[in-house]
Amino acid sequence: MAKTAFVFSGQGAQYPGMGKSLYENSPAARAVFDMAESIRPGTLHQCFEGTKEELSVTINTQPCVFICDLAAAEAVKEKGIRADFAAGFSLGEIAAAAFAGMLSYEDAFRLVCKRAEFMDKAAKANKGAMAAVVKITPQQTEEICTHFRQAYPVNYNSPLQTVVAASEDEIDALCAMVKENKGKAVKLAVSGAFHSPFMDTAAAELSAYLEGVQLKEPEIPVYANVSARPYSGDLKQLMSEQVNHPVKWQDSVNNMIEDGADRFIEVGVGKTLTGLIKKINADVEAVNIENKEALDTL
């Protein structure tokens, strides 16, 4: 029997005006946005009217992308489409967890605001950079990282795309070594070296914050970035470790396919995950839903 996975986009996909058409055309999406606005006034303005620069600031990016993800998922659900599995890329995992009933939308939104604050603080205290490495395998990228003092593969995105994090004084040399090995490295416009030991303090603070948050077993399987398997065991540990551990996206997608998923709906901002899924397995269906037009064609 065919199964559907909802996948929730992460930080980096944001753009001015995101979510506005969903807010204007879907009552379910509007309710999610209004909830966020009641907790963090100004969120709607940032999503709908904010500049690219304003949206690129981590403490703004994460709450805005999160709420667009969750609103898109609710809009798709409103159309009568049910998710059998859920997963999110980095920040998107919190939205996936909330959608699957692991925590209330209000608690999840507050958690995301804190997560952004902790990660922003860690990024300022531990300067790092990130680069997307393409055209070579993850194993080749891992080997290149061993030549540097602080360099880590952090996002295993697809068979020929791995994102690395490194110290600011090593990133250029790492990119040069990638080129020597017939790959290509593109530095990313991000404010920190996420999903690496550079985020250890953020992970510790998030773990402490989660002590006061109630997490429940998910109503549908939520595939964790850290393990690429459905959440089980210590839920809070998995959620906090995600901040300073690699995102195993390729494995997560392959595991969902192995468990029966043959349709992936990217809910939220952009179509980055849709593109990655098609590179991981061209035989499955993958679409992105981020506005009224896409929702109508679904």
Which phi and psi angles does 263 have, rounded to 5°?
Answer: -135, 130
- Terminal alpha carbon distance of the chain: 20
Active site residue 227: no
CA 275/CA 285 separation, integer angstroms: 11
CA distance 185 to 180: 11
Q: Under DSSP, is residue 112 helix (H, G, I), strand (E, B) or coil?
A: helix
Residue 167, both tokens: 């110290």
Q: Which position among 9, 21, 26, 90 bears the catalytic label?
A: 90
Among 9, 26, 158, 195, the active-site one is 195
261-267 vs 285-289, strand pairing mode: parallel
90: annotated active-site residue:
yes
List all residues 6 or more positions away from 223 whose beta carbon is below 8 Å from its beta carbon: 85, 86, 87, 229, 230, 231, 252, 255, 256
The answer to whether 285 touches 264, Cβ cutoff 8 Å, is: yes
Residues annotated as catalytic (active site), given as ranges: 90, 195
